[in-house]
With several copies, the nearest count.
Chain A
């Protein structure tokens, strides 16, 4: 059961978790990324590559599902403009055993940082700036190869 969404509206993590638990798997892991309040950022804009993004997320979710024999994998990535404290991304996995659910969840969020066409633009009191890619993300994604 693979579920990929790119909403412009806030992410409902409770509903997503409930779906994952419905996969009857025994173990559910999740990760939620939020817009931090303490970075001097007044708003975050997420730009993406329509069509290509959906395909990239589906491919990622399918790769995780096969590698860890998941009962369910969910990726919800918000796009557009969002405010501090709001959720940017939710990743969730359901598996028979906890190690598979946890490892697959970490894999998905690491790979999302490098394999999906998203760009972040931060609005600050000093103006707007595009976020630079981090080499740490490449390293984190690479550990799954």
Chain B
């Protein structure tokens, strides 16, 4: 699974993305975030405030309770501020 990070999520994670293989019990975006936070203090701090996190699964905006089953690409980022 390809992960992408944007804006301050990217900055705090220290990388724009990575390839990961979470275990089968990680079924939603929220569970993916929890799994990532458990990997180390950088990830834990970067993803601590889930109210300020938004996600897209295979480039479709979704809620954090959305499934990531069979997802090829998951993006994590702050609320958008464009236009």
Contacts and interface: CB of A to CB of B under 8 A. Distances in A.
Asked whether the complex places CB atoms of A and B closer than 8 A, the reply is: yes
Nearest to A91: B83
Interface stretch (A14-22, A66-74, A115-123): A115-123
Interface in A97-145: 109, 112-121, 130-134, 137
Nearest to A131: B81
B4 interface: yes
Contact of A119 (B4, B56, B59, B80): B80
Interface stretch (B20-28, B40-48, B71-79): B71-79
Give the secondary structure class of A's interface: mixed
Interface in B46-64: 56, 59, 61
B77 A49 contact: yes
Contacts of A120: 81-82
A132 B80 contact: no
B83 A130 contact: no
Contacts, number: 69
Nearest to B16: A47
A132 B81 contact: yes
B59 to A, nearest CB: 4
Contacts of A51: 59
A26 interface: no
A133 B79 CA distance: 6
Interface of A: 33, 46-49, 51-52, 55, 77, 88-89, 109, 112-121, 130-134, 137
Given A117-B77, A118-B83, 19 more contacts: A47-B6, A49-B4, A49-B56, A51-B59, A55-B59, A77-B82, A88-B83, A114-B80, A115-B61, A116-B82, A116-B83, A117-B61, A118-B81, A118-B82, A119-B6, A119-B7, A119-B78, A132-B79, A132-B81
